[in-house]
Amino acid sequence: MAETETTQPKVAVRRKLQAGPLSRGDKWFFRGISAAANFAFVLVGLILTFLLIQAWPVLQAQGFGFIFGSTWKAEDGAKVVMQLGPMLWGSILIAITGIVLATPMAISFAYLIVFLLPKRIAKIATTLIDLLAALPSVVIGLWGLYVFTPVALHWAAILNRSLGWFPLFHVKDPSRPLTDSPFLAGWIVAVMIVPIITSVTREIFSQLDQGLINGALALGGSRFSVLRRVIIPNSAPGILGGILLGLGRAIGETVAILYVLQLSFNINWYSILEPRGGAVASWILARFGEASPAEFKGLMAAGLVLFVITLIVNSLANLIVNRSKANR
């Protein structure tokens, strides 16, 4: 019986890399990029530490009254009382008003760009909306003061005349002009945060399964019903993240609000048409130039509170957006 010869398969010779997985240049590049990325965290920590050091005497003296009180008396020779309540609540009221106004516009723009416009026109529309985010606050504030105010006053008069029985649109003295109100400030903030929400929403819409959308349209769904029952439910976490990013910007807005809002420590809880309100960042700007040393500490404490709130909101927004992208 003849013996069968078994041939061993030839093993390919492993080639050696001319350069390692990370050459010396790659290693230095990686270290430089890592240092630059970590420096952002260091910078945030340094800012937080500086504000905390400057604000600590005021926080220690005022206690929780600094956040929840409604009196600001920091003149020399008087008992110093610095309480931020009306300004802090005013910032929240204006930010919520801006979010309510901006969100429908942002979702509409994103849907138009992703699903309706031709690609070439969609790129132009995207560029124009992104350019709106690059406009300085002072430019938008001046536009709101001289151009948009008459339009907003007309809308405010209609709301007060038609829905004045509802507390949100009620005004104690209808004979007074409806200027310098949180309603007007909310519109200005809405214009500023529309590009932020639109950008995030557009990115989320572009990652949706087109087969799912086309299938819903093929089954007879209208574009509105597909948007309401398919697109928005599947994009809700990402849209929420974009809204929170816009909220972080709205809470910290300064110059534009200062132009169109009358700052008052007579707290305005909900009447968005009343010509009084508050905003922490605008109050800091209004008082900073003439602040005494004691008041300067109080303004630093106000900046610390605003910084912490904005940091929490933006961190939560980034977390939601990243989780939404991971699930796509």
What domains, with CATH codes, occur in the chain? Answer: 92-278+314-326 (1.10.3720.10)
How far is residue 102's CA from residue 243's CA, in Å, rounded to a whole number? Answer: 9
Report which of residues 59 and 328 the model is more confident about.
59
DSSP symbol at 169: G
Averaged pLDDT for residues 156-166: 86
- Cβ distance 300 to 292 under 8 Å? no
Residue 235 has pLDDT above 50, yes or no: yes
pLDDT at 103: 92
Residue 248 has pLDDT above 50, yes or no: yes
pLDDT at 70: 82
Closest C-alpha among 126, 137, 116, 136 to residue 185: 137
- Cβ distance 189 to 251 under 8 Å? no
How far is residue 143's CA from residue 287's CA, in Å, rounded to a whole number? Answer: 23
Residue 10 has pLDDT above 70, yes or no: no
User: Per residue in 86-125, is it b (16+ CB within 10 Å) or e — as a string?
Assistant: bbbbbbbbbbbbbbebbbeebbebbbebbbeeeeeebeeb
How far is residue 114's CA from residue 66's CA, in Å, rounded to a whole number? Answer: 46
- The CA-CA-CA angle for residues 208, 212, 218, to 5°, reads 135
How far is residue 326's CA from residue 328's CA, in Å, rounded to a whole number? Answer: 6
Closest C-alpha among 166, 159, 219 to residue 183: 159
How far is residue 102's CA from residue 110's CA, in Å, rounded to a whole number? Answer: 12
Closest C-alpha among 180, 201, 273 to residue 243: 201
What does the pLDDT look like over 202-221, one tens digit per residue?
988 888 888 888 888 888 88
How far is residue 282's CA from residue 238's CA, in Å, rounded to a whole number? Answer: 30
How far is residue 258's CA from residue 137's CA, in Å, rounded to a whole number? Answer: 10
Confidence of residue 1 (pLDDT cuts 50, 70, 90): very low
Inter-CA distances, 191 with 40, 196, 273, Å: 28, 10, 18
Residue 173 has pLDDT above 60, yes or no: yes
Q: What is the mean pLDDT of the chain?
A: 83
Confidence of residue 224 (pLDDT cuts 50, 70, 90): confident
What does the pLDDT look like over 97-114, one tens digit per residue?
999 999 999 999 999 998
Residue 215 CB neighbours (<10 A):
13
How far is residue 198's CA from residue 238's CA, in Å, rounded to a whole number? Answer: 11
Closest C-alpha among 248, 276, 247, 250 to residue 264: 276
Confidence of residue 265 (pLDDT cuts 50, 70, 90): confident
How far is residue 87's CA from residue 282's CA, in Å, rounded to a whole number? Answer: 9
Confidence of residue 49 (pLDDT cuts 50, 70, 90): very high
